[in-house]
Structure 1
Amino acid sequence: MSVKRCFNRYSCGVLFCMLMWGIVHAQEISPIEKAAREGYSKRFTDSTASIQIQLNALRLAEEKKSKADQAICQAYLAMTHRRLLHLKEFTRYAEQSYHIAGTTSDARAKAFASWAMGSLKSYIEDKSRALDYMLEAYGLFTKLEANDLCARIGADISYLFSPGSEEKVKKYADAALAYAEKTGEPENILHARLAVGSYLSDRTASGDHGQWQEAVTFFRQTIELAEKEETKIISKSNIGIAYINLAVLYLNSHKPTDEQAFLACLEKASHIAQQYDLKNVYRSAIGLRGQFFLEKGEYRIAENLFKTGIAYQQALPYKDNYLLAAFYGCLKDLAAREKDYAAYYAYDIPFVRYNQLKYDESTQQMLQNADARFESDKKITRISQLEQENQLQKKNKLLGYGIAAVLLTGLVFMYRSYYYRQRYYQNREDILQQQQANNELRMQLMEKETLESLAEKLSLERRLLQSQMDPHFIFNALGNIQGMILQQDTALAVAYLSKFARLSRRVLEHSRMEKITLEEEIETLKNYIELQQLRLNKGFDYHIECETSIDPQLLLPPLLIQPFVENAIEHGLKPLASSQRGLLSIRFHEQSNEHILVCTITDNGIGLTESRRRKTHDSHRSLSTKITDERLLLMLKDNPHTRLEVREQPVTDGQGTIVTLYIPII
């Protein structure tokens, strides 16, 4: 798991809290701002009381008509709602803070408002706009000589530039450390050193041992500072993150790993996490320790650690599907290394579920952020229009005063002036109204294009996976024809080639379609199986059964069943002894209550166990099975009952394999 990700998610709220405390050193603050800051400090212990205190401070600022205090109070409220993950309230207060600050000349209010807006844009993943606002806040605090604020915002800016511009990441991280050292405050210094350590750690990816040693030395010095000044550091999570980052450096070092130093760092991180209830730090320590023992080959210790991480996460009042999927993925890796396929399958079920939930959350967050960016841009455009209209109204008002003055000098001069000026401003107003109508139309088109592009992406993703199936089949068929030619079996090769040409034409026609009818799929399967019978000298029989209640015109993805028919023939029936007659059976039936078409493929071949034993030294990789798995995974988005089952026939029924496909009915 990404240590940088852990840091950004866990310490962002602490960053703004410490930024607020730092303003005391820069200049005097008002009693209203002190009250709002007091309420903000309670957001971790009593969020309801925290918001209420800040709202009271905002009402007092409105009664006193202090625009600067209003902007700062709303910045506090915005960041409190960010902590609570209330995007709607976060957006509203940040935008109001920035709008009100724009009506004042108070640099402090403008700086806080810019920071709140930068944090909002960063939260909705609008990185370019976030940098604009944060750089604006950074410049204002620099002029105010607020070293602690510059240190913290500089560190935040360096994270935003990563990984696109290494030069700027280094520039702002180093500047943040220089400002922090001027303050002499351990809290600020630790925060800035973590930003510097982040880009030093990124440099170690090149494999240069000298850069790795520089990063390790820097983090050791950082930890010495944290241990020495622990009582003065408010954000204890930063101490735990320093230990985690150093442990990651040891884990990624040239082998062998300094095991003692690595485990000591994780032990310290776990101790701090348990002492101050830092859940992210504790989970990171468990995951890194488990990964270390997994690579070391001590599988039981690694397994217990991964299961401990899962149990700890599930005991929390919220579920982090990303971490649960990661832990189950590690358990799958462990089972694969031990070749424990039953355990691998057991771990794969929750892994797929949490991975899907993670994907759904990511998609939902992406759409939510896109909607938030759209609404924010829409509001900015509307504000710009209102400001233009306000300026126009002011000019019209000044025009009225001018006309009254002109009346004193002469009616004719007043008439001419009034007539031409009114005509001029009327034209300007018509132009502004036309621009407003064009902007609204453009916004509607942007929203429509966003939805259409998302639908097109999903369609292209499905068609890409479908197109990967056809080359695989063609490769196998041409290989069969080549074998017949090399064996000088000309008649059989010509017959096989004729059937293959007909089948290829059908496959090419299907490649242009996302769905085909069941009748067409069955006809394609018959052609394919007959080709295989011809290649294997009629060494097996087949029959296809379809319940009469099933509509032959129902739609399903093309070439979804063929890979499993191919596996049954190649790995089940073909290796049979010449004395035994092969039999391939394909049966379709419908589960109407779940809108599922069930396809069962049964063969009397050598079975899964014998097939796996024979393929122990076979380096061939089943591309068709991998592609079909990906296609079934995409179908899960539309129907949760979609799945694939592969098992051997019961001993009482003889040898062979049964494959069952559950396909959603369109």
Structure 2
Amino acid sequence: MNNLFVDYSNVAAIYVSLNKPALGEKFIQKASKLKAQFPKLIFPNNEITFQNSLAAVYRLQGKDKAAIDVLNHLVQLQRGIYQSENTQAIAEMNALYQLQAKDQSIRILNENIKINKLQLQQNRLGLIISSLAVILLIIILFFLYYSFRQRRSRQEKEKVLLQQQLLRTQMEPHFIFNTLSAVQSFMRLDKKENAIKYLNRFSRLLRSNLELSRENLVPLNEELETLENYLILQQMRFEDAFHYQITQPEDQDLSAVMLPPMLIQPYVENAILHGINLETGDGSIDIQFALSADILRVTIKDSGKVNPDIPEITHRSLSGTISRERMQLLGKKASLQTTKDPTAGTTVTLLIPITY
């Protein structure tokens, strides 16, 4: 429609240039009808061509006033087109500027994001390095603390072992002194045969003690054998003034149970010397062993004094003092408990830590 509208206007302009206003007016009318039929389809620039041709037709026809009105309308139309184009150009420039500004903002934002990512990576790397340094420091401190604890524990253990050995060396002369006293008693009473038997068994017991004294821990079966030899010697010394009974743990491999040597014998000695009446000849010593996890429970019970009217004489046993000190060195699991009954004697309960 625009092409046909422009063609009508141009043909009219050609007839005007040929000085044929009637024919020019004819095509002007055709263009006007087309414009009236499709007013919204005509472009503004094509309207300018139409108005120029219409003004030329009016001028050629001598209608100057109509030509001037058309030209004034043409000026207004051109001004409106210019303003519209100018407004559109400004809008396009503004849109372009805003688009460029947005692009610039997006570019700056992307650069800031990259910078933030780099800073975040650096911070993360610094945090990882700091964390690793802290973990390494903790590991080193823990290792040093653990090494210190191990060294201290080892030193404490060695100290305890040395103290145990020192106390055992203090007990051996005490034990030998009691034995020599018994032999001297036999010799004074002219009981040479008993003295020989006593010395024979004592030599075996002393050899066993010397072998065990080299060890920090000994099997329970060897300790029981040594204890029974000692009880036999004491029976010989006091001419069977008492009898004894040893109850061992059942269904247990006693050779696998390890405990400190010569720890029970002093309490048995104390029960014989101070817990029974040796003059009557009917004293009794009952020794029971029981295993529970890593604890050996030893119960030593004597029959007590038969004559309650005889005042009890307080006796401070050297071997008992040494044994109590040895028990204290065995740790918190070790304990010693003494229960006295005027009619049933004294019961000593030992809890001894053991190993397998």
**Offset at residue 596 of structure 1 (A):** 1.2
Q: Does 1:556 align with 2:248?
A: no
Shift of 1:485: 1.0
Which amino acid is 1:505 matched to? R
Superposition deviation, residue 496 in structure 1: 0.7
**Does 2:356 match 1:661?**
no
Question: Any gaps of 5 or more consecutive residues in structure 2?
Answer: 1-140
Equivalence for 1:597:
296
Q: How does 1:475-490 map to 2 (within 5 A)?
A: 475-490=177-192
- The alpha-carbon distance between structure 1 residues 556 and 449, as it changes in their structure 2 partners (threshold 3 A), is closer
Aligned with 2:322 (options 621, 627, 634) = 627
Q: Distance in 2 between matches of 1:472 and 1:597?
A: 26
Q: 1:588 aligns with which of 277, 281, 289?
A: 289
Of residues 259, 269, 281, the one that matches 1:566 is 269
Give the whole-Å Cα distance in 2 for the aligned partners of 1:480 and 1:663. Answer: 30
Change beyond 3 A, Cα 1:645–1:455: closer
Q: 2:247 & 2:313 partners in 1: Cα distance?
A: 31
Alpha-carbon contact 2:238-2:278 (below 8 Å) kept: no
What is residue 206 of structure 2 aligned with on the other side? 504
| Cα distance in 2 between the residues matched to 1:525 and 1:628 | 15
1:152-186 Cα shifts (integer Å, max 9, x gaps): xxxxxxxxxxxxxxxxxxxxxxxxxxxxxxxxxxx
Q: Match of 1:586, as an amino acid?
A: I
- Name the CA distance, whole Å, in 2 between partners of 1:645 and 1:448: 32
Change (3 A) 1:474 1:607: farther
Instruction: Quickly say closer, same or farther: Cα 1:459–1:476, change in 2 above 3 A.
Output: same
Mark the CA change 1:572 to 1:608 in structure 2 (over 3 Å): closer, same or farther.
farther
The AA in structure 1 aligned to 2:260 is: P
Displacement after TM superposition at 1:548 (Å) = 0.7
Distance 1:665 1:494 in 2: 37
Q: Structure 2 vs 1, CA of residues 510 and 608 (structure 1 numbering), >3 Å: closer, same or farther?
A: farther
Q: Which amino acid aligns with 1:642?
A: A
- The answer to whether the Cα contact below 8 Å between 2:242 and 2:278 also exists between their aligned partners in 1 is no
C-alpha distance after superposition, 1:560-612 (max 9, x if no partner): 00001111111123x3443x5122111111222xx21100111113189878x
Give the corresponding residue for 2:135.
Answer: none
Greater CA radius of gyration, 1 or 2?
2
Q: Map residues 140-539 of structure 1 onto 2, 5 A cutoff.
A: 455-539=157-241
The answer on whether the counterparts of 1:643 and 1:662 sit within 8 Å (CA) in structure 2 is yes
Kindly state the Cα deviation for residue 454 of structure 1 after the two structures are TM-superposed.
5.4
Aligned AA for 2:201? K
Could you tell me how far apart the structure 1 residues matched to 2:268 and 2:309 are? 18
Q: Take 1:598 and 1:608, find their aligned partners in 2: how far apart are those partners?
A: 30
Q: Distance in 2 between matches of 1:558 and 1:589?
A: 17
Given that 2:241 and 2:279 are in contact with CA atoms closer than 8 Å, whether structure 1 keeps it comes out as no
SS of corresponding position for 1:468: helix
Q: Match for residue 257 of structure 1?
A: none
SS of the equivalent of 2:291 reads strand
* Post-superposition offset of 1:550: 3.4
Amino acid aligned to 2:236: L
**Separation in structure 1 between the aligned mates of residue 270 and residue 170 of structure 2, nearest angstrom:** 17
The 1:609/1:489 distance shift into structure 2, 3 A limit, reads same
Would you say how many aligned residue pairs link Structure 1 and Structure 2?
211
DSSP-derived class of the 1:564 partner: helix
Separation of aligned partners in 2, 1:596 and 1:449: 26
Give the conservation status (yes or no) of the 8 Å contact 1:550–1:589. no
Cα distance change, pair 469–576 in 1 and its aligned pair in 2 (3 A): closer
For the residues of structure 1 that align with 2:242 and 2:189, how far apart are their CA atoms? 21
Q: Aligned equivalents of 2:299 and 2:153: distance in 1?
A: 38
Which residue is equivalent to 2:340? 648
Secondary structure at 2:190 match in 1: coil
Letter in 1 for 2:175: F
1:317-372 residue CA offsets vs partner (Å, 9 max, x unmatched):
xxxxxxxxxxxxxxxxxxxxxxxxxxxxxxxxxxxxxxxxxxxxxxxxxxx9xx89
Cross-structure match for 1:262: none
Label 1:451 to 1:559 Cα distance change in 2 as closer, same or farther (>3 A): closer
Taking only the aligned residue pairs, the percentage that are identical comes to 40
Q: 1:655 to 1:449 in 2, by over 3 A?
A: closer
CA contact (8 A) 1:590 1:598 kept: yes
1:547 aligns with 2:249: yes
**CA separation in 2, counterparts of 1:543 and 1:447?**
44
CA contact (8 A) 1:576 1:605 kept: no
Tell me by how many angstroms 1:491 deviates: 1.2
Distance 1:454 1:659 in 2: 28
Q: Kindly tell me: are residues 551 and 486 of structure 1, through their superposed partners in 2, closer, same or farther at Cα, counting changes over 3 Å?
A: same
Asked whether the 8 Å contact 1:607–1:648 carries over to 2, the reply is: no
Once the 2 structures are TM-superposed, how far is the Cα of residue 457 of structure 1 from its aligned partner? Answer: 3.1
For the residues of structure 2 that align with 1:608 and 1:557, how far apart are their CA atoms?
Answer: 36
| 1:559 Cα offset (Å) | 0.7
User: Aligned ranges for residues 96-175 of structure 1 at < 5 Å?
Assistant: none
Q: Is the 8 A contact 2:287 2:301 kept in 1?
A: yes
Cα distance change, pair 488–516 in 1 and its aligned pair in 2 (3 A): same
> In the alignment, is the contact (CA less than 8 A) between 1:541 and 1:582 conserved in 2?
yes
* 1:70-122: CA deviation from partner (whole Å, max 9, x where unpaired): xxxxxxxxxxxxxxxxxxxxxxxxxxxxxxxxxxxxxxxxxxxxxxxxxxxxx
The CA RMSD over aligned residues, in Å, is 3.0
Deviations 1:261-311 (A, max 9, x none): xxxxxxxxxxxxxxxxxxxxxxxxxxxxxxxxxxxxxxxxxxxxxxxxxxx
Deviation of 1:490 after TM superposition, in Å, equals 1.1
Give per-residue Cα distances to partners, 1:627-665, cap 9 Å, x unaligned.
1111111112xxx2311111124x6xx432111111112
Name whichever structure is richer in strand by fraction.
Answer: 2
Distance in 2 (CA, whole Å) between partners of 1:661 and 1:448 is: 29
